[in-house]
Amino acid sequence: MARQPDSSDCSRRPPNVPMNVHMRPSVLVIEDSASVRRLIDVCLRPTGAEIRSAEDGLVGLQAAWETVPDVIVLDIGLPGLDGWGVLSRLRADDRTAEVRVLVLTAHAQPEMADRAAADGADAFMTKPFRPDDLRETIETLVADARAAATA
């Protein structure tokens, strides 16, 4: 039987304000499954990140435009507006065009990863995921975003 993840496993920045490397990283999770949102929260809590979530694509897109997080964790199979639609709109908007996006999906086909990259995602991961892999990927994306903001 697999062990349940816990905290050992695992700042909002106003729009148009340069990222301050001393601020807590912010992560927006756009995921319709409450259990997956909770798991991501448990995985990322030890990083000190401010974690916000949305359970459908339209609410998630609005939250991204309002908060401009460091990283967005984006499911593909979302109600309202699917993840592909969210990603397209994020990339088309100046407020979120440079926000790092991790596509996290249960669809493990290679063409899904190819499409995510072609559509502008910065990383791709399938469910189920290893908590350490998720945390490391998010930390790398935050570091990349902050390096780009100070360059």
pLDDT of the residue at 89: 98
Query: Is 14 inside any structural domain?
Result: no
pLDDT of the residue at 139: 94
Number of residues in the chain: 151
How would you write 8-58 as a 3-class SS string?
CCCCCCCCCCCCCCCCCCEEEEECCCHHHHHHHHHHHHHHCCEEEEECCHH
Query: Is 8 inside any structural domain?
Result: no
List the CATH number of the domain containing 60: 3.40.50.2300
Number of domains observed in the structure of the chain: 1
Query: Is 59 inside any structural domain?
Result: yes
Query: Is 84 inside any structural domain?
Result: yes
- C-alpha closest to that of 25 among 68, 63, 79, 58: 68
Give me the helix-helix angle, 131-150 and 34-44, nearest 10°. Answer: 70
Query: Is 58 inside any structural domain?
Result: yes
Model pLDDT for residues 72-106, shown as the tens digit of each residue: 999 999 999 999 999 999 999 999 999 999 999 99
Query: Is 13 inside any structural domain?
Result: no
pLDDT of the residue at 108: 86
Query: Is 15 inside any structural domain?
Result: no
pLDDT of the residue at 96: 96
pLDDT of the residue at 102: 98
Domain span at residue 47 reads 26-150
pLDDT of the residue at 150: 85
pLDDT of the residue at 9: 46
pLDDT of the residue at 7: 40
3-state secondary structure of 85: helix
3-state secondary structure of 124: strand
Give me the helix-helix angle, 83-92 and 57-67, nearest 10°. Answer: 30
- Per-block average pLDDT, block size 10, for the chain (151 residues)? 43 39 85 96 92 97 96 96 97 96 93 96 96 95 90 76
Query: Is 103 inside any structural domain?
Result: yes
Q: What is the value of pTM for the model shown?
A: 0.85
Contact indicator for 105, 112 with CB cutoff of 8 Å:
yes
